[in-house]
Structure 1
Amino acid sequence: MSHNLDAARSFLEQLEEQGGLKGEVLAAEFSDILVRSAAWKADGVRSTEVGSRPENIQKNRYKDVVPYDQTRVILSLLQEEGHGDYINGNFIQGADGNQSYIATQGPLPHTLLDFWRLVWEFEIKVILMACRETENGRKKCERYWAQEHKPLQIGFFCITLTKETQLKADIILRTLQVTFQKESRFVHQLQYMSWPDRGVPSNPDNILIMVDEARRLQGCGPPGPLCVHCSAGCGRTGVLCIVDYVRQLLLTQMIPPNFSLFNLVLEIRKQRPAAVQTEEQYRFLYHTVAQMFYSALQTTSPHYQNLKENWAPLYDDTLSLWTSPALRASPRPPSGVLRSISVSGAPTVPMADTYAVVHKRRAPAGARPVAQEHSTEEKPLYSQVKSRTQRPGAQTEDMRASLPGRVPANQSPAGPDAYEDVTEGAQTGGLGFNLRIGRPKGPRDPPAEWTRV
């Protein structure tokens, strides 16, 4: 277990040294991935001859996303009925060395039968779908599942919807009963509804929930592959496969000491073309893996107990949180705790005891008169607001959350205690903190008067 966590910690520290999620190192890594991937086909390391045959070209949703011959899925079911062995899909090896994933495109109208041949032949229990049927007015995937009370007949397969659940705001879980030659099986489909094409989700949380649920539905039976698809079956599909791959490494405590997300993406791309399609998706993958590693370390290491909850939005650099000069000057723990982690015992920066308040010289017209002290000396323009903790008899508040601008959770910012008392001759009848506009008499009338809270 310690080796597993050491590898996770090393990954996080290296990511910090590279500049975090916004660092230029990640951009350079992804450019290198694109160059190497292009070279594989040019050098003959990977070929796409079968998918480029005239009889198979029409089965590819996109002409530039054709499965590699070396890892393509070969269909044998129903070949005697005259159906070919081709489908735009590739096997991807999992953390255990088995063919854990089938990465494929969203079915076309004329490849629906091929899709269900794949599901049945390879005993797929769970389908992960990372797209909608239509996105930005363009068809991205043909509906291959049944709707409520509307069984779907596709060739020799009869598909019935038995249950549909909104697992999360962005995730739909469907349970399908598939019948083929008098045999029935249940297949679960998890569809992520708000993942833009060539883009990324707003944060990793729902993606992690999705793969967790997929593994729960997969159960502990025979380790059949997960079927993963989006529209082209490369960008979003690749991200999902790698997230689950790393999750399996964590669960089995098999993270290698030299774990590299760069090398892992390269390895997956050797099996499915264009897996993890954009630099934005590559950074999101780093973000998601970092969150998984942080969570693992947080539960086992005291230095990670106070992990900041700052993972969204994605492009706030979660590895470079702003800290005060006093915190930046604090010594680094021997284990190398990252800047985004609160170290117990670090000095806190107290708020100032007093603040200046500017006062108007005279009350606005129409305000009720306020008794003033008879003095020829003019009231000061500035006065001070004192902290509650400095007032006699006040109870000491919990200062652990005393960051500038923060309001205690049990106190409304607009409540009567939202501001401190004004001292040293402040004008309470003027336009200050504790004043508000009274309700107007009519929709066109100006405010009737300034009234005190």
Structure 2
Amino acid sequence: MELLPSLLSSLRSVDPGTLDQEYSMVRSQTSVLKRDVSLTSETGALKENIKKNRYKDILPYDQSRVVLSLLTTDCDSDYINASFIKGASNHSCYIAAQGPLSSTLVDFWRMIWQHDVKVIVMACREIEMGKKKCECYWSPVHQSAAFGPFTVTNQGETRPNEDLVIRSLTVRYQQGSRSLVQYQFLSWPDHDVPYEAAGVLDLLERVRTSQGTHTSPLLIHCSAGCGRTGVICALDYIHDLLVTKQITADFSIMDIVLELRRQRPSAVQTKDQYQFIFTAVACMLQQVLQSSCHLLNDNLSELKKPEKKTRQTPASSKRLSQQTDMSDTYAVVNKPKHPHPPSSNPAYSTVAMPSSASRTQPLSHHYDNDPDGASASAVYSTVRPRAKPANQQHSATPIYDTAMPTNHRLGEGPSSLGSNGEHHLVQGEHPSSTDDDYEDFSCSVPDMTNLCSPGGIGFNCRIQKPRGPRDPPAEWSRQER
């Protein structure tokens, strides 16, 4: 990735004169390469195969030609004007082919079926400048056509833009059926270049999406299968180098074109096509760098976002805080509308002390903000049921175990400790009006039947007056209803 900015800069700064010199070197080196590697085209030059070539000077090399092994009739030949081109990775390769002639339509589908081709790229129109450039090897939309033993059905066509037609084809041979996609690029004149590189790059992006993980060859053809076909192979090859991070400091488009020409004659046929590769690769690199910058910015944005942390307190800590942090807590205890059964009723059981040692000492609890510290007076009063009024009947068993606070402190009034050292709920008295530590708020409505929840539960709130300079909340002066 570090090399891409400098590579992009060098591609943009290439002088047209330099490109002319490079392309001249490509042509001269091709002749040397054919001689040194002993590239031959003898099979394509055979008398029985001459009529299968669209152009007599564009013949596939014997060393890289596609050999047809699928025989549909006894007179089938193994020749077709098509060449294998190695891809940037071991599992990818291309078939660069001429546009089929009327006499080679069956051979064309033999090749497609034999190599299980999934995607076809057609870089030409059927007729260009009044000349037939390629025979139609597909059927009209939603129709079928027979090509020898092969039946091709056009399942549908789409035109995502004015440059491109996408056809979904199904081919049947004997008992088998396969699906493939054909991309026909309409805006590439013969021996010329497209008006912009973005259209070709978009085409290749769609092609790669359709190809997916298939390891079958990508079939690319134009009219002769060398000029436009060579450019598309070169661009896709360079894209694979980028994806697989094989771009090195000695990256050279000229070397790539020479490698293509070693496998397919006249690949990248004109100087304008050679220059177009530089333009398209620069556009490709710019897109990759922009995508990397956007991804980097997104990652930085995610890192800069403050992490939302939810402080979770363990359950044991919550229980401990509920037991010990009582500095701002005031007890509100329900008052029963009906009296409790006598203290001997097991439903109102005694509260057992934790240990024998704790039974010998008076129970005490102090607020953390108590200025006297360890005061001997208990904050909480003894809990006892109120006596049943004479005009009320005994209610059913209460829904909740309810009790009311009293003004007794430990050592004052009747003791809440039984003979066995355990606490009991004992008969209480109404708080005295002289108690200055608590305010007694009781409902003045004589009949609370409609105001209380089922079971006749009423409310009697005993709230401790605040200690210190804090003002009492407004709720303290409001009666509970």
* TM-score normalised per structure 1: 0.63
Alpha carbons of structure 1 residues 248 and 43: separation in structure 2 relative to 1, 3 Å: closer
Alignment partners' CA distance in 2, 1:190 and 1:175:
9
Alignment partners' CA distance in 1, 2:216 and 2:161:
25
The answer on 1:186 being equivalent to 2:179 is: yes
Query: What is the DSSP-based 3-state SS (H/G/I as helix, E as strand, rest coil) of the residue aligned with 1:46?
Result: coil
* Displacement of 1:107: 0.2
Query: What is the DSSP-based 3-state SS (H/G/I as helix, E as strand, rest coil) of the residue aligned with 1:246?
Result: helix
The answer on 1:294 being equivalent to 2:286 is: yes
Counterpart in the other structure of 2:242: 250
Alignment partners' CA distance in 2, 1:140 and 1:213:
24
Structure 2: tracts of 5 or more residues without a match: 298-481
**Partner deviation per Cα, 1:333-361 (whole Å, 9 max, x = no partner):** xxxxxxxxxxxxxxxxxxxxxxxxxxxxx
The answer on 1:68 being equivalent to 2:64 is: no
Partner of residue 198 from structure 1, selected from 181, 184, 191? 191
Partner of residue 103 from structure 1, selected from 92, 96, 103? 96
Partner of residue 115 from structure 2, selected from 122, 130, 140? 122
Alignment partners' CA distance in 2, 1:271 and 1:24:
27
* Displacement of 1:42: 4.7
Counterpart in the other structure of 1:241: 233
The one-letter amino acid of 1:233's match is G
Residues 237 and 276, structure 1, Cα contact 8 Å, conserved in 2 = yes
Partner of residue 18 from structure 1, selected from 8, 14, 18? 14
Counterpart mapping for 1:286-435 below 5 A: 286-300=278-292
Alpha carbons of structure 1 residues 79 and 85: separation in structure 2 relative to 1, 3 Å: farther
* Displacement of 1:225: 0.8
Query: What is the DSSP-based 3-state SS (H/G/I as helix, E as strand, rest coil) of the residue aligned with 1:148?
Result: coil
Query: What is the DSSP-based 3-state SS (H/G/I as helix, E as strand, rest coil) of the residue aligned with 1:73?
Result: coil
Counterpart in the other structure of 2:405: none
Counterpart in the other structure of 1:270: 262
The answer on 1:168 being equivalent to 2:161 is: yes
Alignment partners' CA distance in 2, 1:48 and 1:197:
24
Counterpart in the other structure of 1:31: 24
Alignment partners' CA distance in 1, 2:62 and 2:31:
16
The one-letter amino acid of 1:70's match is Q
Alignment partners' CA distance in 2, 1:194 and 1:13:
28
Alignment partners' CA distance in 2, 1:184 and 1:301:
45
Residues 79 and 85, structure 1, Cα contact 8 Å, conserved in 2 = no
Q: RMSD across aligned C-alpha pairs, in angstroms? A: 1.8
* Displacement of 1:219: 1.9
* Displacement of 1:80: 5.9
Partner of residue 232 from structure 1, selected from 195, 209, 224? 224
Counterpart in the other structure of 1:259: 251
* Displacement of 1:285: 0.7
* Displacement of 1:86: 0.3
Counterpart in the other structure of 2:419: none
Counterpart mapping for 1:80-99 below 5 A: 81-98=74-91
Higher relative CO (Cα under 8 Å, sequence separation at least 6) belongs to 1
Residues 44 and 81, structure 2, Cα contact 8 Å, conserved in 1 = yes
**Partner deviation per Cα, 1:75-98 (whole Å, 9 max, x = no partner):** 000166320100000000001034
Residues 7 and 259, structure 1, Cα contact 8 Å, conserved in 2 = no
Residues 92 and 99, structure 1, Cα contact 8 Å, conserved in 2 = no
**Partner deviation per Cα, 1:291-349 (whole Å, 9 max, x = no partner):** 111122233359x99xxxxxxxxxxxxxxxxxxxxxxxxxxxxxxxxxxxxxxxxxxxx
**Partner deviation per Cα, 1:205-251 (whole Å, 9 max, x = no partner):** 1111111111111122x311100000000000011111111112222
Residues 34 and 262, structure 2, Cα contact 8 Å, conserved in 1 = no
Sequence identity, in percent? 45
Query: What is the DSSP-based 3-state SS (H/G/I as helix, E as strand, rest coil) of the residue aligned with 2:66?
Result: strand
Query: What is the DSSP-based 3-state SS (H/G/I as helix, E as strand, rest coil) of the residue aligned with 1:51?
Result: coil
Structure 1: tracts of 5 or more residues without a match: 306-453
Query: What is the DSSP-based 3-state SS (H/G/I as helix, E as strand, rest coil) of the residue aligned with 2:151?
Result: strand
Query: What is the DSSP-based 3-state SS (H/G/I as helix, E as strand, rest coil) of the residue aligned with 2:242?
Result: helix
Residues 6 and 257, structure 1, Cα contact 8 Å, conserved in 2 = no
Give the greater-gyration-radius structure (CA). Answer: 2
Alignment partners' CA distance in 1, 2:143 and 2:75:
28
Residues 69 and 78, structure 2, Cα contact 8 Å, conserved in 1 = yes
The one-letter amino acid of 1:162's match is Q
* TM-score normalised per structure 2: 0.59
Counterpart in the other structure of 1:410: none
Residues 93 and 218, structure 2, Cα contact 8 Å, conserved in 1 = yes
Residues 226 and 267, structure 2, Cα contact 8 Å, conserved in 1 = yes
Alignment partners' CA distance in 2, 1:117 and 1:7:
44
Residues 142 and 156, structure 2, Cα contact 8 Å, conserved in 1 = no
